[in-house]
């Protein structure tokens, strides 16, 4: 039977990868004249917004798992 419970180690690994990718996007975006995440047509901004939302979701999942494990 496949577990539907997310693996905390996998989530943490995914968070590290997302954080590193976000850092690389921010670094590549430095030469642009607008703030990152503000332009709708900029591919870096689109990718940044998407990854940021994903990182927030993972953080919420980890927090929820920690609370469930404490019970």
Do residues 58 and 19 lie in contact, with contact meaning Cβ atoms separated by under 8 Å? no
For residue 20, what pLDDT is reported?
Answer: 92
- Sign of the Cα torsion 2, 50, 28, 20 reads negative
CA gap 21, 71 in Å, rounded: 34
Structure tokens, 47: 């990718």
Give pLDDT, residue 63.
87
What pLDDT shows up at residue 2? 52
The pTM of the full predicted model, rounded to 2 decimals, is 0.73
Closest CA to 21 of 1, 49, 41, 42: 49
Q: How much is the pLDDT for 67?
A: 83
Tens place of pLDDT per residue across the chain (71 aa): 455 667 778 888 888 999 999 999 999 888 889 888 889 899 999 999 999 999 898 888 888 888 887 76
Cα separation of 49 and 38, whole Å? 9
**CA gap 39, 42 in Å, rounded:** 6
pLDDT at site 4: 62
């Amino acid at each position: 039977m496949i577990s539907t419970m997310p693996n905390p180690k996998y989530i943490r690994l995914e968070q590290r990868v997302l954080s590193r990718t976000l850092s690389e996007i921010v670094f590549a975006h430095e030469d642009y004249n607008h703030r990152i995440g503000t332009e709708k047509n900029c591919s870096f901004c689109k990718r940044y917004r998407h990854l940021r939302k994903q990182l927030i979701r993972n953080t919420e999942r980890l927090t929820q798992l920690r609370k469930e494990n404490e019970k």
